[in-house]
Amino acid sequence: MYLVDLRDIYFKYLGDEDYALKGVTLTARPGEFILLAGPSGCGKSTLLRVLNGLVPHFYEGEFKGEAYVAGLDVRSTPTYALAKHVGMVFQDPENQLFLSSVEREIAFSLENLGLSRNEIKKRVNEVLEIFGLEHIRHRAPYELSGGQQQKVALATVMALEPQILALDEPTANLDPLSALEVLTLVHGLVKKKGILAIVVEHRLEIALRFATRMLVMNKGHIVADGKPEAILPQVRHLIGYPPVVIAHLLLSRKGLAGDGIPLTPEDLAAKIIEVVKWRR
Amino acid sequence: MTALGSVLDIFKYRRKETFLHSLDPRSKFLLLVVLSVASLALNDVFSLLLLLTIEIVLLAISKSLNEWIRSLRGLAMLLLMIFILNFLTLPSGRLFTSITMVLRFVCLTSAFSIFFLTTTADELANALEVSGVPREYSMMFTMSLRFVPSLAKDLQTVIDALRSRGLELEGGRIKERIKNYTHLLVPLIVYELRRSLMVAEALEARGFGAVKKVKPYVELRLRRRDYSIIFISLAGLFMLLWFILSGRYAMFTSAVRYLFPEF
């Protein structure tokens, strides 16, 4: 069974002229790390919002099509019920963290579900350990660095033990190293827990290495879907090439690198070594 | 802006390990109520000085004297204004009453700062929830405190953006200024509306509102130290009431006036 099963979804925000989603069909399974890319305003965020029911419950508008997430019908399940299955993290940590300590921040999500105090304590401690946040459990979120804040934001939704993680540009406010750290963490969760991660990300050079599948959207449609290596050339006009791919292109034209698109500098290095070795 | 900032500092929580920080917010709230009642009920220099001494001891216990002194410096202008206005408008007993007014203001502010310097917004919200206030309302309270610094930051961003486009906010005639402030307010309101939408989304995504009755993670428990503070506060309150209602306080103040006729 699919964890996410969207069938021909159309959605128009109240007061908008045009549809934000135009016939989106998407299925996804546990263990996938899906990179969702596309130009601004292409419907990426709207698609994520369908996953936890913010569309059509929080944002009103015209919704057509069938949407099932974790076996629940999105159209008739409220967001707080979907929140148990879909952990959503947004761009700006400042708007997601409200309380005076990391520990309470994580407990807040669990309190909302009405769990018992012992259960909350147990899960808070587990999550703090998994995310390596024990040393800052009593610190206030606003005292932390952006990367740490975003980790805390991840931790608060992971405490609900969702099967799906939906991240809307989680690294937009972070420096490259923190961005890599946060995405590595997400990748680890996908590997270890077998969850499904859907990540909207503009920084391809950081995100590509983790992606098992890539989706590209444009003007409300999904225009490409597949292995990143396979679809990158098709969507170059929309999202461009990451620097490593451009470097490879230049080198391979001169016969200095092997075929196939590299997703990381390490890949590229391997492709160069391949050719150089063969020449000797 | 900086003067205002340092004044508001007097109400900003700081994490410290002290007796007062470790108290239950409810017992601290009772202490706040009693200290405020006392500052409003007493109206002579000597008893207010006694009250201020008690508050200074409490601030020392909570290791917050430095913050308090710094904020008082920021308040200096306001205190001076209170003094001068009283002094110029009162018919008689001018010096005495003016000093009393200033002291009362200091006592009242200090009472609140003792509470807010040692109590976090979520502790307070927690106490509200335990007292039967619905979670939506206690959350509203936490949020309004939480987003004050964000609002200040946004305001600065808009001001900077306007300045970089050549709009001078200060100076000019009144009409000019009012017009300029609308340039400031409109983007700020739009900004904050968008922010509130994002916050609401994040709350939804974390299951806010899934159940009506939640069990707070941190259990509020009155310990022996809380009971001792509650006892002392109530005892102080009753002593104060007895002192005033029995007419002894009136006798005391007239004795003071008699001893210091030049005031």
Separation between Cα atoms, residue B256 and residue A217, nearest integer Å: 82
With contacts defined as CB-CB under 8 Å, which chain A residues touch B191?
Answer: none
In 10 A of CB B221, how many CB atoms? 7
Q: What is the mean pLDDT of residues A168-183?
A: 92
The pLDDT tens digits of the residues spanning A251-272 come to 988 888 888 889 988 899 998 9
In 10 A of CB A220, how many CB atoms? 22
Is the complex ipTM higher than 0.85? yes
Mean pLDDT score across all residues of chain A: 92
pLDDT at B170 (0 to 100): 73
CATH number belonging to domain A4-240? 3.40.50.300
Report which of B146, B16, B247, B202 is spatially closest to residue A83, judged by C-alpha positions.
Answer: B202
Q: What is the mean pLDDT of residues A194-218?
A: 95
Question: B204 in contact with A at a CB cutoff of 8 Å?
Answer: yes
Q: Could you list the pLDDT tens digit for every one of the 263 residues in chain B?
A: 445 556 667 777 888 889 999 999 999 999 999 999 999 999 889 999 999 999 999 999 999 998 888 888 888 899 999 999 988 988 877 888 899 999 999 999 999 999 988 998 888 888 888 888 888 898 888 888 888 888 888 888 898 998 898 887 777 788 888 888 888 899 999 999 999 999 999 999 998 988 877 888 888 889 999 999 999 999 999 999 999 999 999 999 888 888 877 65
pLDDT at B183 (0 to 100): 86
- Probe site for chain A from B15, B117, B217, B220 (most A CB atoms < 10 A): B217
B206–A83 CB contact, under 8 Å = yes
Question: B236 in contact with A at a CB cutoff of 8 Å?
Answer: no
pLDDT surpasses 90 at A27: yes
pLDDT at B1 (0 to 100): 43
Q: Is B144 exposed, middle or buried (0-12, 13-18, 19+ CB in 10 A)?
A: exposed
Query: Per-residue confidence at A47, pLDDT binned at 50, 70, 90?
Result: very high
Chain A residues 26-65 with a CB less than 8 Å from chain B: 49, 52, 54, 58
A80–B210 CB contact, under 8 Å = yes
Nearest Cβ partner for B121 among A96, A100, A107 = A100
Orientation angle between helical segments B248-259 and B224-245, nearest 10 degrees: 70
Domain borders along chain A are: 4-240, 241-280
Report which of A45, A143, A72, A66 is spatially closest to residue A102, judged by C-alpha positions.
Answer: A143
